[in-house]
Amino acid sequence: MNMGLTGGIACGKSTVASLLVKLGAILIDADQLAREVVMPGTLALQQITERFGSIVIQPDGALNRKALGAIIFNEPSARKDLEAITHPQIRLAMWDQMRKAEEADPARLVVVDVPLLYESKLQGYFQKVMLVYVSEAIQLQRLMERDGLTMDAAQLRLQAQIPIESKKLLADIIIDNTGTVAETEKQIQLFWKRKGEP
């Protein structure tokens, strides 16, 4: 079985992903793939440079994520342009890894961590979608603490995504990550026991 894992920014997807791996799932991380497709020498990085200019490239030739982030979070059309460059490359890499994982061990759960799963309209590619949930107020607080952002900057990042309450209505499985790690772990264990059930 394959399953998409998603949530909103600062909801705690990484915690849930690591708990699933601990139980035996194979994890494919779309964020990691997103970093790989923009490594120096890749087609995507060349296209990003052409679109946004050398300001988004560091002296060593790597992508300057901070400079690019400042552009795309303040200019919706720039974000769409970036997605048009990177998303097809990320999807190709993701499908390839999913296929290899499923061929290698058909009985194992393959979890694909995709932060922007609904925004990218990828839900149809998975047998189930698990959403890691916290309220928007908690998202905002955690994001400000985690990334040292002002409230305005954190709100801009939240507004770049579909609201968490809307995602909650779309998901097959909801893991409430409001409480302690132990409370989240209990929910994951319960899911694991039931995962083979229809």
- Cβ neighbours around 6 below 10 Å, total: 28
| Averaged pLDDT, 12-20 | 95
Distance CA 50, CA 29 (A): 27
Specify which residues 2 forms β-bridges with.
110
Tell me how long the chain is: 198
Q: State pLDDT tens for residues 136-159.
A: 999 999 999 999 999 999 998 898
pLDDT above 60: residue 123: yes
Domains parsed from the chain with CATH numbers: 1-25+109-198 (3.40.50.300)
pLDDT digits (tens, 9 = 90+) for 74-90: 888 998 999 999 999 99
pLDDT at 197 over 70: no
- Between CA 157 and CA 140 the distance in angstroms is 9
Distance in angstroms (rounded) separating the CA atoms of residues 34 and 12: 19
Mean pLDDT for all residues in the chain:
93
Q: Read off the tokens for 58.
A: 């560091």
- Residue written as token pair 């309220």: 135
Predicted pLDDT at 22: 96
Residues with Cβ within 8 Å of residue 79, at least 6 apart in sequence: 72, 73, 160
> Whole-angstrom Cα distance, residue 74 to residue 78?
8
Quote the CA–CA distance of 26 and 104 in Å, as a whole number. Answer: 11
